[in-house]
Structure 1
Amino acid sequence: MASQELVLAGWITVSLYLAVTLFFVIRGASKTKSIADYALGNLGFSPYAVGLSLAASMTSAATFIINPGFAAYAGISGVLAMALMLPLGALVSLVVFTKGFRKVGNVIKAMTMAQWIGARYKNGAFSMYFAFLSLLLITFVVLICVGLTKVMAAMLNTHEVATLVVIVCVIFGYMMFGGANSMVYTNMVQALLMIVVAVILLTSGLEHFKEGFDGFLAKLAAIDPLLARPLNPESHLFRDMFEVVFCQIVVGIAIVCQPHIITKSLLLKKDSDVNRYLFTGIVVEILFFLVVAAGLYARLSFPDLEVAGVAISVDDVIPTYVLQEFSWVVGLVVILGLISAGISTLEGLIQSLSTTITSDILGSLATRRGKSLSNEVGVNRMVIVFLAAVSFFFSYRQLVAPNLSVAIFAQNGVYAYFSAAFIPVLFGIFFKRVPLAVPVTGAIAAIVVHFGIYYGRLTPYMEGPVRNPAVAAALAICASTLLSLGIYGIHMARTSKNVKAVKV
């Protein structure tokens, strides 16, 4: 239970936080006249502001709230996977993909990932396919809603379901108006606060390093020897090198193929701003990923993962750690940063999802019938209401009956999406004259392999009560890549043969 001081200060701070956010929303809404303004904005954004927005969007409630819980349960293996291997793949991929994606995106004037893919391959049906696939990202929205609910309910001593209702109504409510014009600035403020909180969390356990890193590992080993090892065969997700290293790097490489991440570069007005944007985002993102290590501090504070005889779930580890280990003043700052981590990504997801549904699904369907959406901004607001209702339903179910953690539910959907998006983005950026069969085959194969392995319980990794979505995603990405490269190779061989025949 939070102290009365924290509860009172929490209500005051949350009210001020909301007031600042509404200021930027109202300011942005006054500049939003079309769906294009909502998606990409019409203001001149600083590359540093967009870089901070990128870092805030890439880092969600998963990184600050949920993932440290896995580290608390699994130990060093979880930190290696989520704070080193996954970021290694993600940040390298971000640098490699960004300039090419932006170049193509500016030429075809894309607002969404589905539009980018459809325009790049000149196929409306393929664009529609990805527009519907983007609905899988609702699972990520659910993760963030649950994470925010856990943190705010703990701080304010409120019922979780009632807290969820307020969160959904408020955040989805104000996202009906501002869009990108307000989101870049709210993300910037959120990222700055998250930097402060990341430093607080990472330094909160320095006392455990008085005898060096070996002494720190010894403390973990005293609780459970497996906590101090790079692999934890008794964990659900970090059992061997395949799960800890290979799967995380492969997933990291593909993870940037999410609309609220890779399309962020389209907010920049000049190509000369890209390097400063990337530098800012990557430096801050490295700090954010390291926050996973705070889960190890929590495990040292709660060796049995219990408080007053009550077990601490994966999703409750960080909220409990903050309430138990910090004064109410510091705890308030930390919790506000955790809230920012969730809201920043949630805003980006709501913006990208609603734009995709409005423009790429409803707009395209209307066009095919010879009509057009007369008021796209108004339709977009109704779409956000729909997303709010769906998100609340699934968030409620994850609060009352999660499968180990809401992260498993979210990863299954999100990983499937970017596994499918990887090949179309890869070939769309780096290959010329790509036959449509290549990206279509890769995108479909990835979905079939991912869900086939996960729900078919294929491979030994899927036999336990908790299945690892990273394994299904990594295998799906590898399978779709090999298949697509094979088809592309056959196409190039045939093309070369035909060219030679013509010359003869």
Structure 2
Amino acid sequence: MASNELIIATWILISLYAAVVLVLTIRAARRTGSMADYAVGSTHFSPVAVGLSLAASMTSAATFIINPGFIALYGLSGFLSLAVVLPAAAMLSLYVLTKRFRSQGQVVRALTMAQWMGSRYGSQGYAMFFAFLSLLLLTFIVLICVGLTTILSKSLNVAPLYVLIGIVVFVFGYMMFGGANAMVYTNTIQAVLMLVVSFVLLGSGYEHFSQGVQGFVAKLAAIDTNLVGWTNPQSLLFRDYFEVIFCQIVVGVAIVCQPHIITKSLILKEEQEVNRYLLTGMSAQVIFFFVVFVGLYARLQFPDLTLGGQALKMDEIMSTYVVARFPVYIGLVVVLGLIFAGLSTLEGLIQSLSTTITADILKPLFGNRLIRDEAGRGLIAEMVLNRLVIVLLGVAAVWLSYEQILAPNLSVGIFAQNGVYAYFSAAFVPVLVGIFAKHITLAVPVSASITAVVVHFSVYYGGLTPYTQGAVRNPGVASALAIVASVVVAWTVWLVVRKRQASRVLSQTPVL
């Protein structure tokens, strides 16, 4: 339970932060006059600010609040998987893909991932397919809402449902007006504090190293020898190197293909700013990803993962550690940093998903029968409709998040991974082919996307591997196999199409 001092200080700090955000939102709203402004911004931001915004968006409540619980539960195998292998693959992919995607995005003037797909491959139907597939990102919104609710309810001693509703009303409310203009401002502030909190958290277990690294490892081994292995056969997610390394490399490479990540570079106005943007973002990400190591400190503080005789849920381990470990004012800064970690990505997801639903689903389906055009035809202005979409997303987020708080399947992280991994598994080959191949038939990306979705959900729900059987299944395995299958199918389709084209050319060549 949080002390009275922490409760009062947390309320004061949250109120001050809310006031700052409202001021920034009002300022940003004045610069947001269209869906284009809402999606990619109308202000010229520094590449450092956008880079920090990228880092904050990629490393969310999952990294700071949820994933340390996996490490506390399963040890160094989880750290190797989530803090070393996956980030290394993701940052390499980010570096390779960003510049080419940005150049393509500028050419087709895409505001969303779905629009980029439709414009790149000349298919409105394919754009619509990806727009509907984007709805899977709601699972990630749920993860962040659960993480934020957990840390705030622990810090304020308030029932989770009331905290959840307050978070959704506030965050979804200010994102209705500011869009990308507000998001870069708030993300920059959030990222700076997240850096400070990262160092505080990583230093919070310094006493465990009084006898060096070997002494630290020995303490973990005394609790459970499986905690100090690079694989953990007794875990549900890190049983062998296939799960720990192979799957995480494949997933890490593809994870960049999420709209709130890969489209971030479109906010930059000048091409020469991209390098500074990437350097800033990737440097901050290295520090952020290492925060999951704190899960090992939490395990040393709660060896049997109980508090007061009650078992800790995996999703509340980090929150409980923070409240128990730090004095009031340091704890307050850490709590705020954890909140920022969630808000940074939540804002990006709200902005990208609401834009996709409005511009890529409702507008193509209903046109000026619903959305007012320049001639005044239609029922409602596009920006007003976008705000209504955000309200509906908020209602869905509260409903699904509360279900995950009451009865998670090990962790809300599993729920979120299943949805998000399916999305970027389907997006990986189309993005890769779209930015590197000049001429490609529509059959190639379409076959890859459909294969990825079918394989992912078949493996996960069908229990087609030993890693996806039982009550808790590993979405990373389903995603890795889906991505590999989509690459194989896309390559096969490309070869078949190429062969047919060559045969057609030969058949039309006159015989001399």
Fold-level similarity (TM above 0.5): yes
User: 1:160 matched to which residue of 2?
Assistant: 160
Residue 472 of structure 1 aligns with an amino acid whose one-letter code is: A
Cα distance 1:123–1:295, how it changes in 2: closer, same or farther (>3 A)? same
Residue in 2 aligned with 1:178?
178
Q: Percent identity?
A: 60
Q: Deviations over 1:191-219 (max 9, x none)?
A: 00000000011111122122222221111
- The aligned residue for residue 86 of structure 1 is 86
User: Paired residue for 2:386?
Assistant: 380
Aligned counterpart, 1:123: 123
Output the CA distance in 1 between the equivalents of 2:167 and 2:370: 39
Mapped pair 1:471 → 2:480: no
Q: Which residue of 2 aligns with 1:45?
A: 45
Larger displacement relative to structure 2 (369-378 or 396-405)? 369-378
Corresponding residue of 2:21 = 21
Q: How far apart, CA to CA, are the structure 2 residues paired with 1:326 and 1:367?
A: 55
- The match for 1:235 is 235
Q: How far apart, CA to CA, are the structure 2 residues paired with 1:476 and 1:28?
A: 40
Deviations 1:344-383 (A, max 9, x none): 1000000000000000001111239797565110000000
**Distance between the aligned counterparts of 1:431 and 1:219, measured in 2?**
52
Q: Report Cα offsets for 1:267-309 as digits up to 9, x if no partner.
A: 0001100000000000000100000100001001111111111
Matches within 5 A, 1:151-300: 151-300=151-300
- 2 CA distance for matches of 1:147 and 1:21? 20
Task: Select which of 425, 429, 434 maps to 2:435.
Answer: 429
- Corresponding position of 1:495: 501
Say which of 410, 420, 443 aligns to 2:449. 443
User: 1 CA distance for matches of 2:211 and 2:3?
Assistant: 33
The answer on 1:392 being equivalent to 2:398 is: yes
| Offset at residue 88 of structure 1 (A) | 1.1
For residue 26 of structure 2, what is the amino acid of its counterpart? I
* TM superposition shift of 1:496: 3.7
SS in 2 for 1:407: helix
Give distance in 2, aligned partners of 1:253 and 1:415: 12
- Between the aligned partners of 1:189 and 1:370, the Cα distance in structure 2 is 38
For structure 2, the 5+ residue unaligned runs are none
Letter in 2 for 1:23: V
- TM-score (norm: length of structure 2): 0.97
Q: Deviations over 1:314-372 (max 9, x none)?
A: 10111110111110111100000000000010000000000000000011112397975
How far apart, CA to CA, are the structure 2 residues paired with 1:417 and 1:143?
A: 16
SS in 2 for 1:165: helix
- TM-superposed deviation, 1:464: 2.1
Q: Distance in 2 between matches of 1:497 and 1:102?
A: 36
TM-score after normalising by structure 1: 0.98
Residues of 2 paired with 1:178 and 1:368: CA distance?
Answer: 25
Partners of 1:344 and 1:462 in 2: CA distance:
31
> How many angstroms apart in 2 are the aligned matches of 1:318 and 1:85?
22
Equivalent in the alignment of 1:100: 100
Residues 262-341 of structure 1 aligned to structure 2 (within 5 Å) = 262-341=262-341
User: Equivalents in 1 of 2:281, 2:502: separation in Å?
Assistant: 42
How far the C-alpha of 1:502 sits from its partner, in A, is 4.9
Q: Secondary structure at the residue paired with 2:17?
A: helix
Distance between the aligned counterparts of 1:460 and 1:315, measured in 2?
Answer: 25
Distance in 2 (CA, whole Å) between partners of 1:369 and 1:22 is 34
* Aligned residue type for 2:185: Y
Deviates more, 1:363-372 or 1:288-297: 363-372
- In structure 1, the residue corresponding to 2:32 is in which secondary structure? coil
Output the CA distance in 1 between the equivalents of 2:231 and 2:306: 24
Q: Give me the whole-angstrom Cα distance separating, in 2, the residues matched to 1:325 and 1:105.
A: 46
Looking at structure 1, the residues matched to 353 and 145 of structure 2 have their Cα atoms a distance apart, in angstroms, of 15
Structure 1: 5+ residue stretches without partners: none
Residue type at the aligned position of 2:447? T
Indicate the larger mover: 342-351 or 482-491. Answer: 482-491
Amino acid at match of 1:274: V
Secondary structure class of the residue paired with 1:83: helix
1:417 aligned partner: 423
Q: Cα gap change, 1:368/1:416 in structure 2, threshold over 3 Å: closer, same or farther?
A: farther
Query: 1: CA distance between counterparts of 2:300 and 2:494?
Result: 52
For residues 367 and 485 of structure 1, the distance between their equivalents in structure 2, rounded to whole angstroms, comes to 37
Matched, 1:459 2:465: yes
What amino acid is the match of 2:81?
A: A
Give the whole-Å Cα distance in 2 for the aligned partners of 1:23 and 1:247.
Answer: 44
Residue 172 of structure 1: how far off its partner (Å) = 0.6
Aligned residues: 504
Distance 1:19 1:232, change over 3 A: same
Q: Which deviates more from structure 2 when the two are superposed, residues 367-376 or residues 79-88?
A: 367-376
Structure 2 distance, partners of 1:307, 1:159, is 18
- Distance of 2:500 and 2:126 partners within structure 1: 24
1:60 equivalent in structure 2:
60
TM superposition shift of 1:313 = 1.1
1:442 Cα deviation (Å)?
0.5
* Amino acid corresponding to residue 273 of structure 1 in structure 2: E
Shift of 1:489: 2.0
Q: Deviations over 1:111-165 (max 9, x none)?
A: 0000000000000000000000000000000000000000001111100011111
CA distance in 2, matches of 1:367, 1:487: 35
Instruction: Give the aligned residue type for 2:310.
Output: V
* Distance in structure 2 (CA, Å) of the matches to 1:152 and 1:369: 43
Matching residue's letter, 1:202? L
The amino acid of 1:425's aligned partner reads V
1:492 deviation in Å? 2.5
Bigger mean CA deviation after superposition, 369-378 or 276-285: 369-378
Output the amino acid matched with 2:230.
P
List per-residue Cα deviations over 1:155-179 (Å, max 9, x = no partner): 1110001111111111111111000
The residue type equivalent to 2:261 in the other structure is I
